[in-house]
Structure 1
C-alpha cells in the first residue's frame, strides 16, 4: 500500500502591521533625534564663534569711551540706543563726572533667544578718583555686526 507522504510546510509568514508601524515609528523618532542633535551642535558652534567678536566689540567700545572718543563709541551703538541719544547727547552723557577712565572685561556670555543671538559682557569700570563698579553691557547682532544696546552705564 502506498503510504501517502505528508509534506509539512510552515504557513506563510505575515508581516504584522503593528510591527511595521513600530519599526517606521522608531526610525522616524531616531531621525528626529539626529535632527535635534544637529541643531544643538549648530547652535553651540554659532555661540562659540561669537564669543571673540562680542568681546572685541565691547573692548573697542569701552576703549573709545575711556579715551574720550565718544563719536566712535556712538557708532558702535545699536539702532535702539542711537534712537535714544543723539551723538552730542551721548557724548555729554559719557563725559558727565565721574568719567570712565579704565575697564576690565570680566565675563562674556552669548546665547540665542528664539533663534536670534544676543550677548552680555560684564565689565568692571574704573571712574575718576579710582572708584570702580560692575556693569553689564547688553550686545545684539544687527546687520551682521555686534552692537552695544541698552544702557551701558
Structure 2
C-alpha cells in the first residue's frame, strides 16, 4: 500500500523541477532582454562608429571611390563620384586616422569626431555627420572636407 506521503513526494519533485526550470527561464529571458535593450541604446554610437571607420579606412587605403560608396543618398545626389574622387584626390592623403568621439544626435543620426593624419604626420580634426540611409549607417554632409 502506498502512503499518502509517498504520493505527495512523488508529485512534488516534478512540480519542483518545473518551478526551478520556469525561474531559470525567466531569469535568462531578463538577462537576454536586458542585453538587447541596453545594446539598442548604444546602437547609434556603434553604428555611427562602424560607418565612420569604414569610410576613413577606405580613404586611408587610397580607395576614394570605395569611400564614395559609404556616402548617404543625399550627399551622393549633390556630389558626383568623379567630383568626389577629384576633390579628395587633390588634397593631402589620409595616411591614418583616429576616431576621437561619437555623439548620438538622434536614434538614426550621430556626429563622429576624428583626427586625420597625412603622410607627413600632420594631424587635422574632422567631424562628420553619420545617419541611417538605405538601411545602414552612412556618412553624410560635405565629404570634401575630409582630408
Tell me, what secondary structure is at the counterpart of 1:50? helix
> 1:74 aligned to 64, 68, 83, which one?
68
Q: 1:120-139 CA distances to partner (integer Å, 9 max, x unpaired)?
A: 11000112322111111100
Structure 2 unpaired stretches of 5+: 1-36
Whether the 8 Å CA contact 1:47–1:117 is kept in 2: the answer is no
Q: Which has the larger radius of gyration?
A: 1
Gap change, CA 1:135 and 1:88, over 3 Å in 2: same
Tell me, what secondary structure is at the counterpart of 2:45? helix
Whether the 8 Å CA contact 2:131–2:140 is kept in 1: the answer is yes
Please give the alpha-carbon distance, in whole angstroms, between the structure 2 residues aligned to 1:76 and 1:119: 15
Whether the 8 Å CA contact 1:65–1:73 is kept in 2: the answer is yes
Q: 1:98-149 CA distances to partner (integer Å, 9 max, x unpaired)?
A: 121110000011132xxx5210110001123221111111001113211100
Deviation at 1:46, TM superposition (A): 3.9
Whether the 8 Å CA contact 2:97–2:116 is kept in 1: the answer is yes
| Corresponding residue pairs, total | 109
More helix by share: 2
Structure 1 unpaired stretches of 5+: 1-42
4+ residue segments displaced more than 2 Å: 43-47
What is the root-mean-square deviation in Å for CA atoms of aligned residues?
Answer: 2.0
